[in-house]
């Protein structure tokens, strides 16, 4: 059975709240109000309250003290499914792909990259940050056998569609695309982009507009 659909904008803000809670906890606090979260996360208090309502958590008994930080943290993690760990495969072991293999922040957010794939014979067989690089030709067999649901694409943009096709064919349900290439997949496949160049485009232009 599916869970409640939470709006995308809420989901995008939840990780920021986790960062705020982490820092408040580190500072020794036990409880926090929505207003305080709103100041630190730089999000309007009304939105913070709306977002937190999706966690199903109640405020602590003394309303002026707000939420119990530990409980709220756990509740947000549960909503994001970050308390469980999902195994995922990464394709494209260039600079960015290699970096992601060593990026410890993922493990804390429920994502374990358990195998990597490339078509460069010089990379196949190598172990990078503890993850073995396999031939891209092995992707389907391995992903199917291990029931892998999440695939990360870090190949050059012109190969992104081909890799996406292979992933869908191999039973991948969610694709995290780090290339600026839009990929076309069946409607039941989840696709999320980390589009650095969209962000760089805004930065470069705004700087040029300013000068």
Query: Per CB under 8 A, which of residues 180..199 are in contact with a second copy?
Result: 180-182, 184, 188, 190, 192-199
Kindly tell me which of 100 and 136 has the beta carbon lying closer to a second copy: 100
Taking the complex as a whole, the smallest distance from the CB of residue 123 to a second copy amounts, in Å, to: 14
Q: Compute the distance between CA of residue 124 and CA of residue 105 in angstroms, rounded to an integer.
A: 25
Beta-carbon contacts of residue 101 (< 8 Å; ≥ 6 apart)? 90, 93, 113, 116, 128, 129, 130, 131
Pick from 121, 122, 158, 187: which binds a second copy (CB under 8 A)? Answer: 158
- Residue 67 phi/psi, 5-degree rounding, is -90, 150
Pick from 59, 79, 118, 135: which binds a second copy (CB under 8 A)? Answer: 79
Measured CA distances, 132 to 65, 87, 146, 151, 177 (Å): 48, 14, 15, 15, 20
Residue window 2-41: x/- pattern of binding to a second copy, with contact defined by CB under 8 A: xxxxx-x--xxxxxx--x--xx--x-------------xx
The answer to whether 43 touches 35, Cβ cutoff 8 Å, is: no
Q: Which of 161, 152, 15 is nearest to 93 (CA)?
A: 152
Q: Is 138 helix (H, G, I), strand (E, B) or coil?
A: helix
Taking the complex as a whole, the smallest distance from the CB of residue 104 to a second copy amounts, in Å, to: 8
Q: Which of 94, 68, 200 is nearest to 154 (CA)?
A: 94
Kindly tell me which of 32 and 60 has the beta carbon lying closer to a second copy: 32
Kindly tell me which of 60 and 133 has the beta carbon lying closer to a second copy: 133
For residue 135, give both structure tokens: 């031939």
Taking the complex as a whole, the smallest distance from the CB of residue 184 to a second copy amounts, in Å, to: 7
Which residues, numbered 59-78, are part of the site for a second copy (CB under 8 A)? Answer: none
Pick from 74, 87, 106, 114: which binds a second copy (CB under 8 A)? Answer: 106
Count of residues interacting with a second copy (CB under 8 A): 71
Taking the complex as a whole, the smallest distance from the CB of residue 208 to a second copy amounts, in Å, to: 4
Q: Which of 193, 2, 176, 16 is nearest to 89 (CA)?
A: 176
Taking the complex as a whole, the smallest distance from the CB of residue 192 to a second copy amounts, in Å, to: 4
Kindly tell me which of 145 and 206 has the beta carbon lying closer to a second copy: 206
Which residues, numbered 120-139, are part of the site for a second copy (CB under 8 A)? Answer: 129
Q: Name 58's bridge partners.
A: none
Kindly tell me which of 4 and 64 has the beta carbon lying closer to a second copy: 4
């Amino acid at each position: 059975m599916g869970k409640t659909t939470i709006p995308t904008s809420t989901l995008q803000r939840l990780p920021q709240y986790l960062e705020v809670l982490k820092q408040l906890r580190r500072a020794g606090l036990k409880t926090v109000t929505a207003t305080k979260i709103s100041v630190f996360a730089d999000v309007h208090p009304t939105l913070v309250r709306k977002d937190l309502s999706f966690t199903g958590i109640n405020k602590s008994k003394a309303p002026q003290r707000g939420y119990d930080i530990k409980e709220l943290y756990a509740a947000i993690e549960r909503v994001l499914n970050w308390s469980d760990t999902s195994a995922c495969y990464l394709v494209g072991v260039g600079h960015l792909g290699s970096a992601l293999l060593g990026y410890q922040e993922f493990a804390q957010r429920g994502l374990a990259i358990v195998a990597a794939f490339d078509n460069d014979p010089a990379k196949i067989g190598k172990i990078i940050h503890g993850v073995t690089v396999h031939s891209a030709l092995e992707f389907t067999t391995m992903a199917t056998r291990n029931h892998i649901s999440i695939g990360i694409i870090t190949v050059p943009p012109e190969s992104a569609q081909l890799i996406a096709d292979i992933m869908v064919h191999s039973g991948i349900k969610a694709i995290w695309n780090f290339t600026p290439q839009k990929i076309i997949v069946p409607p039941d496949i989840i696709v999320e982009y980390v589009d650095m160049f969209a962000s760089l485009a805004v930065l470069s232009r705004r700087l040029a507009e300013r000068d």
